[in-house]
Amino acid sequence: MIFLWLIPIVVLLSFALTAGLRRYALLRSIIDIPNARSSHSLPTPRGGGVAIVLSFLLTLPLLGWGQLVPLDVLIAVGGAGGLIALIGFMDDHGHIAARWRLLGHFTAGGWALFWLEGFPAIQFFGVTYNLAWAGGILAAFYLVWMLNLYNFMDGIDGLASVEAISSCLGVCLIYWLSGFTGLIWMPLLLSMAVGGFLCWNFPPAKIFMGDAGSGFLGVTLGVISIQAAWASSQLFWAWLILLGVFIVDATATLIRRLVRGEKVYEAHRSHAYQFASRRFGKHLPVTLAVVAINLFWLLPVALCVVLLELDGSFGLILAYLPLIFLAFKFNAGGLERVDETAQNPS
């Protein structure tokens, strides 16, 4: 408990760094200018997610020094997260071709899996499967999809931030109640780093996260979830449940766009959360709705999986069914109507 002082320090550091990055973005004209594919209406500085990256990565040596997190896990998270943040930072300041970004993404995933020693055996509908090398390949695609879907879902004020905070704090509660207290530190400090940034990103946002922050969050959450899988298969299912809003919306949108033959790497605003924000005319109701879903639906189901030994795969299906309904209710991956293109909530 001697390291509890890290919690307020990380929040304050992230808050201060975000303020500095906002000033930097304004001076360097690193501004997100609204266009036909935007979900906002006012020019806004971007790149504030670097504050999350720095304030979290700076804690890793302390966690290692205090022997609170195994060294191999720290190297996995720090290396993968740092590389993805660097790629995102360069993309925020210019443009990196999609193929080179993807190569960097798989490199980061491979790095993390090397230090985590791959992906463990997983229990699926009561049967334990050891996928060996195939599990490693699937895990690499999982990490790449996690970081990209987080980038896709970072489209309205505060959404990516509240998803990370509620998921991390939810899993911290699960770790504590189930006796896996040794796993708490990384999601706890990550949520604090995001919390300092959220003060500037809460609707109406004064700065956006940018690719550096969103990609970093996606890959870091993915790596931490695989770390949890090595401790307990049920914990991995809990992570997938808690991240369900992002996973379902992004996956449903991707599938529908692929079916139509669209270039999925091009910018668009056809996610369910984007349709919802245009329907309500504001970002805030959608952001708060995601918090409510996470707290009052996904967290209880995840708790049942870990504490009541509900089968994880069944719990995932149970948790996702209403999310799939909502995704299609709000037309995830659908084409915009002409009247919707004129609506652009701030």
Q: Which residue has the tokens 């209403």?
A: 322
Cα 44 from Cα 208, distance rounded (Å):
7
Give the bridge partners for 45, in sequence order.
31
Amino acid identity of residue 98, one-letter, is A
Whether residue 151 is annotated as binding a ligand: the answer is yes
Crossing angle for the helix pair 50-57 and 185-201, to the nearest 10 degrees = 150
> Which one, of 330, 94, 84, 43, lies nearest residue 222 by Cα?
84
| CB-side neighbour CA atoms (13 Å) of 184 | 17
Count Cβ neighbours within 10 Å for each residue of 163-175 and write b for 16 or more, e otherwise.
bbbbbbbbbbebb
SS3 129: strand
**DSSP label of 94:** S
Say whether 211 counts as a known binding-site residue.
yes
User: How far apart are the C-alpha atoms of 204 and 58, rounded to whole Å?
Assistant: 29
Contact 233, 69 (CB under 8 A): no
Percentages helix, strand, coil for the chain (3-state, rounded to 5) are 70, 5, 25
- Kindly report the three-state secondary structure assignment for every residue of 274-330: HHHHHHHCCCHHHHHHHHHHHHHHHHHHHHHHHHCCCCHHHHHHHHHHHHHHHHHHC
Contact 215, 151 (CB under 8 A): yes
Q: Which helix (H) or strand (E) holds 224?
A: helix 210-231
Give the chain's radius of gyration (CA, Å). Answer: 19
- Dihedral angle, C-alpha 258, 105, 73, 55, nearest 10 °: -100
Residues 165, 199: Cα–Cα separation, whole Å: 12
Annotated binding site: 151, 211
Annotated binding site for Mg(2+): 151, 211
